[in-house]
Structure 1
Amino acid sequence: MAETASATPIYGKDHILVFRLYKDRAAKNATKLAFQTTHSWKFEAKSDSTETKDGSINSPATATATLEIEAVSSLDDVNKFLKQAVLDSEKLEVWDVNLADKQGEGKYSASYGQGYLQSWEVPSEVGKLTKIKTTMNIDQKPQDGLATFTAEQQAEIQYAFADTTPVTGEAPK
């Protein structure tokens, strides 16, 4: 009998986006966007309809994918290179890593896409944190697989336990 997946709820906090400029893929690791609040995958396949004397006939359309992203703005390098990627029409790679689905040492299930950010919106409101909003147009279809998520990348998300004694040899964060 085939094994079935258990009905386990999925939490948005477990999905982390990491990015890299496509041109840097041979030299750099992907980097997490700090202070992510929301991201949404959107898949669309709008079919065309042709009316005939016998009734409408629909023709299939190629599916498109977009990724809408919101995060609290910060002065980190990822915010800077993503903004510059919009201005320079730079191709990006993105991974949506599911930290709740560990598949081995440092490996997690993930969706991977390549594409371009189509906007960079930074609304600033009195008394609130400044947020970025952007949408990424994904080339072709995102691919599912396993992504490496290192201990260093994990540390960017959550600080580690510290003892009550003085901490030495560590730069302040």
Structure 2
Amino acid sequence: MAEMLQGKNKVLLFRLLNESTNEAAKLVFQTEHTFSYSRALDRIITKDGTIVKVGELESEVSIEAIQSKDDPVREMLESAVKKGEKIELWEVTVDESLKEGDKYPAVYAQGYLDSWESAANAEEQATVSSNFIVELEPQVGMATLTTEQEEAVQYVFQDTVVEEGSVNE
């Protein structure tokens, strides 16, 4: 029987391409993102009927989040759009039923942010939105999340007592 995939289980991680020795990190308080693919199709009318000329694949990711008071990933992304720096992006599906070993299904892409908006409504939380333009074609695979990355997605159960060698130490 088919099961629904929850949107909250798909998270984005980012890293500057020129900092590939660092681990990717999650933008905190992500509220929504849309990974879209499009392709221009030109209709050419001939005497024999219509034929279609297929254009190149174009991909982008729209991103929305509530601003955190102190999020180094938000600061890195804002700086990257200002400086025109290339970014790596992972859309990771953090769903235990889809996990294989220590890896989760993911889409990987490289590209640039073409916009950065910081909205401050008097009655709501301050938000950020951006648009990531994918260069070339996104790649599908499996991504490993560190313990810290998994905890950033959802904190892990902690026992009421501290045992030797536990993560609470």
Specify if TM > 0.5. Answer: yes
In structure 2, the residue corresponding to 1:63 is in which secondary structure? Answer: strand
Q: Distance in 2 between matches of 1:87 and 1:133?
A: 14
* Counterpart check, 1:52 vs 2:46: yes
In structure 1, the residue corresponding to 2:12 is in which secondary structure? Answer: strand
* Counterpart check, 1:129 vs 2:125: yes
- State the number of aligned residues: 162
1:133 CA displacement: 0.7
For structure 1, which segment, 156-165 or 70-79, has the greater mean C-alpha deviation from structure 2 after superposition? 156-165
What is residue 32 of structure 2 aligned with on the other side?
Answer: 38
Q: Distance in 1 between matches of 2:91 and 2:117?
A: 21
Counterparts of residues 84-103 of structure 1 (less than 5 Å): 84-100=79-95, 101-103=98-100
For structure 1, which segment, 51-60 or 156-165, has the greater mean C-alpha deviation from structure 2 after superposition? 156-165
* Counterpart check, 1:63 vs 2:61: no
What is residue 151 of structure 1 aligned with on the other side?
Answer: 147
1:155 CA displacement: 1.6
In structure 1, the residue corresponding to 2:116 is in which secondary structure? Answer: coil
* Counterpart check, 1:104 vs 2:98: no
In structure 2, the residue corresponding to 1:10 is in which secondary structure? Answer: coil
Q: Distance in 1 between matches of 2:2 and 2:157?
A: 32
In structure 1, the residue corresponding to 2:37 is in which secondary structure? Answer: strand
1:126 CA displacement: 0.5
1:170 CA displacement: 6.9
Q: Which residue identity is paired with 1:69?
A: I
Q: Distance in 1 between matches of 2:67 and 2:117?
A: 10
Q: Deviations over 1:99-149 (max 9, x none)?
A: 1121112x1110100000000011110020011111100011111111011
Q: Give the gaps of 5 or more residues in structure 1.
A: 1-5
**Structure with the higher strand share, 1 or 2:** 2
In structure 2, the residue corresponding to 1:42 is in which secondary structure? Answer: strand
Q: Give the gaps of 5 or more residues in structure 2.
A: none
What is residue 14 of structure 2 aligned with on the other side?
Answer: 19
1:165 CA displacement: 7.3
Calculate the TM-score normalised by the size of structure 1. 0.86
For structure 1, which segment, 32-41 or 149-158, has the greater mean C-alpha deviation from structure 2 after superposition? 149-158
% same residue: 37
